[in-house]
Amino acid sequence: MIKLNNIKKSYHSKKGAVEALSGIDLDIKQGEIFGIIGYSGAGKSTLIRLINMLETPTAGSLIVDGKEMSSLSKNKLREARKDIGMIFQHFNLLWSRTVKGNISFPLEVAGVKKAERKKRVQELIKIVGLEGRENAYPSQLSGGQKQRVGIARALANNPKVLLCDEATSALDPKTTNAILDLLVDINKKLGLTIVMITHEMHVVKKICHKVAVLDKGQIVEEGNVLDVFQQPKMAITKEFVKQVTQNDEAEEAVDFVKQAHPSGTIVKLSFKGDSANRPVVNELFQQQLVEINILEGNISQTQNGAFGTLTLLIDGATHEVKRAIDFIENQGVGVEVIQDAAQLIS
């Protein structure tokens, strides 16, 4: 659905050319929810503005739904943009219009007849859950309701692609989750391709199928969300993954146990997919001649399946501890030895 080949974007400044994006390659399939995550200044907003041609690339090829966007005439580009909806961090609503008026606006611009507009607006109000708020103005709405209006407006012309530029950054956690649930529902019901620009790994974890990590204008890591969570390769990706997998209190507890039990072996288990639902620890208790204490753990759901971690303190004879670790690995569970007093791993 969206294909970027060697996309570059440079800006001119008094000090010379500034390269915002350098050699971006992405292939986003139809119906995917694709996350692009990076810190401020990484080039995320520039990238999403390129996809709907609010910015033009300095070099490279940009194809959306089979159309090379940069080669289209103004009229054809205007038509192609109807297939691309966009929602924003700060909603960008028309404050002098009601909910109905805001949703109707892109239909008016497109020249849709009044009766058809009215019908479509009511459909969209139902889709985004704003029944009863049709005649309210933006100043009378909560942040979540405003974003629902923004989503409905973006869907007005039945787009094939929905671009979300930090769409939940201005919302509280509970409202963020509600909006993300709505986007997942829309993705499933309408088959929309959704591109999520964000700096929050929670957003990626909750709704994205795939993720690309953007740093200093370059894609430094990309893959299925579950794979990236389990085995992040780059330092910046590990930082993002820690946003949703690291518990400071749990880390402090592990550090305390390290000092209190210097002769014990501490291992961190990583579960993915089917292995997250297996009673591995229970089997370990039953089959291995070691003492086991659970120090901390968590499990998260992604669109690709479950992902979890569990930290254990294992005490026992060296060869029994080694056997226990081998048993865990043979169950398809990742093992990271945090403290190895017996130097089991060379």
For residue 253, the domain's CATH number is 3.30.70.260
Give the span between the Cα atoms of 161 and 326, in whole angstroms.
47
Cβ neighbours of 66 (radius 10 Å): 7
Look-up: residue for tokens 């974890």? 205
- Report the pLDDT value the prediction gives residue 335, as an integer from 0 to 100: 85
Q: Which residues contact 118 (CB under 8 A, 6 or more apart)?
A: 104
% helix, strand, coil for the chain, step of 5: 40, 30, 30
Rg (CA), the chain: 24
Phi, psi of 275 (to 5 degrees): -65, -20
For residue 202, being part of any structural domain is answered with: no
* Consecutive H or E run containing 335: strand 334-340
Inside any domain, residue 309: yes
Whether 13 is in a domain gets the answer: no
48 located within any domain: no
Query: Residue 325 domain-assigned?
Result: yes
User: Per the structure, how many domains does the chain have?
Assistant: 1
- Give strand ranges (E) for 178-264: 193-198, 210-215, 218-224
Residue with tokens 């939940």: 168
Q: Which two tokens stand for residue 196?
A: 């999520």
Beta-sheet pairing, 161-165 with 84-88: parallel
Helices (H), 199-247: 201-207, 225-230, 235-245
Residue 5 to residues 28, 59, 61, 132: CA-CA distances in angstroms? 12, 9, 5, 45
What is the spatial distance between Cα 145 and Cα 20, in angstroms, rounded to a whole number?
A: 33
Domain assignment of residue 267, yes or no: yes
Kindly report the backbone phi and psi dihedral angles of residue 37, in degrees, each rounded to the nearest multiple of 5, phi listed first: -115, 145
Q: What is the pTM of this model?
A: 0.83
Which residue range forms the structural domain that includes residue 263? 246-340
Distance CA 77, CA 80 (A): 5
Residue 300 backbone dihedrals phi, psi, to 5 degrees: -130, 150
pLDDT in tens, the chain (346 residues): 999 999 999 988 887 788 999 999 999 999 999 999 999 989 999 999 999 999 999 999 999 999 999 899 989 998 898 899 999 888 899 999 999 999 999 999 999 999 999 999 999 999 999 999 999 999 999 999 999 999 999 999 999 999 999 999 889 999 999 999 999 999 999 999 999 999 999 999 999 999 999 999 999 999 999 889 878 899 999 899 888 776 655 566 566 666 666 777 888 888 776 666 667 777 777 777 888 888 887 777 788 777 778 888 888 888 888 888 888 888 888 888 888 755 544 4
Q: At how many degrees (to 10) do helices 143-155 and 173-190 cross?
A: 20
pLDDT, residue 346, reads 42
Neighbours of 133 (CB within 10 A): 19
Q: If DSSP codes are grouped into helix, strand and coil, which group holds residue 307?
A: strand
The answer as to whether 108 is a domain residue is no
Residue 293 lies in a domain: yes
